[in-house]
């Protein structure tokens, strides 16, 4: 297959569904919120349950399908896969013992780093898939693409920090550090505008020169810019931030894990190796999604019953009130799926020989 024939990451239909569909859903919910008068307020309970529990929390657990439900993958890097959650929990206990605010700030910035890097990761994979890195100006264009996608996320974050407090937060009020002067947000947005313009000019010039166009990569750049700017800069509400932040991040990731897991299962079956639990689950969308939704619900039940006590209608049971010592053990435990996902995601999808199964599932060579 030539580079001109392979501009899509998974497939044309799948990429459009995951990246374009999640963006369209987010924008549709913004329009719906504006029409119903809910856009400027908090996310209503039904939206919180669907987006936060059903997408955000569930997508975190999907890493488990690729790693912990696949015995070959788990045995291949057992030390990494066992040490990361152990170290994450121990670090969380230390941080929470010092200060709950310190714990939540550290977790928030770890999450932000993960969200930013995921968008860059999509662009990097698209570049590898389309062969852009091998072009005569490949290194220059790689730097421009990287700067552009990073600016799509970092510029709104700088604006956010420069305009605190906002009507929304990452996890809890005050989890971001205040103090950036207001002008830094304006400068960051102008830098983003300049980079986006440069990106468009570069892509048009490449197309006119007969180079293959990576529509999927540009879709990721456009959707990231649109949702992060709308959810953080243009609008100032929990509703807007929830739909733009959660859906465009979580839906593509779950879909990516599902498709690559299916391809790994097919490759393993063709080689005559026994199927793993993840292989069996990946054959069916309900079998793949149902356990994710179940563990997401159980996790959120723990958060609500032990800590928040806000959604008893969704999570029945007594309001539990652990003491400070138990909380310092329990809160990092409840946050462990997130922390593990954030850290492991930096390892398992890189185009390297040690990730041969993942690389092959995307149609690349390490």
Compute the average pLDDT of residues 248-252. 98
User: For the chain, first and last CA: distance in Å?
Assistant: 17
CB atoms within 10 A of CB 108: 18
Q: What is the pLDDT of residues 59-103, one digit of tens each?
A: 999 999 999 999 999 999 999 999 999 999 999 999 999 999 999
Mention every residue, 6+ apart, whose C-beta is less than 8 A from residue 293.
53, 54, 58
At residue 126's C-alpha, the angle toward residues 124 and 132, to 5°, is 85
Percent of all residues in the chain with a pLDDT value above 70, rounded to a whole number = 98
Confidence of residue 226 (pLDDT cuts 50, 70, 90): very high
pLDDT digits 0-9 by tens, 136-168: 787 899 999 999 999 999 999 999 999 999 999
Q: What is the mean pLDDT of residues 96-120?
A: 98
Q: CA 242: distance to chain centroid?
A: 13
pLDDT tens digits for 15-60? 999 999 999 999 999 999 999 999 999 999 999 999 999 999 999 9
For tokens 């993960």, name the residue.
114
pLDDT of 4 reads 52
Separation CA 54–CA 52 (nearest Å): 6
Give the pLDDT score at 212.
87
Determine the Cα–Cα distance for residues 276 and 333; give it in Å rounded to an integer: 27
pTM: 0.95
More confident residue, 264 or 351: 264
* Eight-state DSSP code of residue 273: P
Phi–psi pair at 45, nearest 5 degrees: -55, -40
> Helices in the chain by DSSP H: which ranges?
12-15, 21-36, 45-47, 58-61, 63-66, 71-76, 78-98, 100-130, 138-162, 182-208, 215-228, 238-270, 277-282, 285-303, 324-334, 336-348, 356-362
């Amino acid at each position: 297959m030539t580079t001109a024939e392979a501009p899509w990451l998974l497939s044309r239909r799948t990429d459009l569904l995951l990246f374009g569909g999640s963006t369209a859903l987010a924008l549709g919910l913004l329009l719906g919120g504006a029409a119903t008068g809910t856009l400027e307020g908090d996310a209503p309970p039904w939206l919180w349950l669907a987006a936060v529990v059903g997408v955000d929390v569930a997508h975190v657990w999907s890493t488990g399908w690729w790693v912990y439900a696949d015995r070959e993958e788990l045995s291949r890097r057992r030390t990494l896969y066992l040490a990361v959650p152990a170290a994450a929990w121990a670090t969380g206990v230390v941080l929470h013992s010092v200060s709950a605010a310190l714990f939540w700030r550290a977790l928030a910035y770890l999450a932000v780093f993960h969200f930013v890097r995921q968008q860059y990761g999509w662009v990097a994979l698209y570049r590898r898939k389309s062969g852009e890195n091998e072009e005569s100006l490949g290194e220059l264009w790689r730097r421009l693409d990287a700067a552009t996608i990073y600016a799509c996320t970092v510029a709104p974050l700088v604006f956010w920090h420069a305009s605190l407090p906002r009507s929304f937060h990452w996890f809890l009020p005050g989890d971001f550090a205040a103090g950036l002067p207001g002008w830094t947000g304006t400068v960051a947005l102008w830098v983003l505008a300049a980079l986006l313009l440069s990106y468009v000019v570069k892509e048009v010039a490449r197309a006119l020169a007969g180079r293959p166009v990576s529509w999927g990569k540009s879709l990721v750049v456009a959707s990231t810019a649109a949702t992060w700017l709308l959810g953080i800069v243009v609008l100032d509400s929990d509703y807007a931030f929830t739909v733009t932040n959660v859906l465009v991040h979580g839906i593509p990731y779950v879909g990516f894990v599902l498709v690559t897991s299916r391809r790994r299962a097919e490759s393993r079956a063709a080689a005559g190796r026994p199927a793993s639990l993840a292989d069996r689950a990946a054959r069916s969308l309900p079998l793949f999604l149902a356990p994710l939704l179940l563990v997401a619900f159980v996790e959120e039940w723990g958060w609500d019953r032990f800590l928040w006590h806000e959604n008893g209608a969704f999570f029945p049971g007594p309001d539990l009130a652990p003491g400070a010592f138990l909380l310092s053990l329990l809160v990092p435990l409840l946050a462990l799926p997130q922390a593990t996902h954030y850290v492991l995601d930096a390892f398992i999808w890189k185009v390297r020989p040690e990730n041969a199964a993942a690389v092959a599932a995307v149609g690349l060579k390490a």
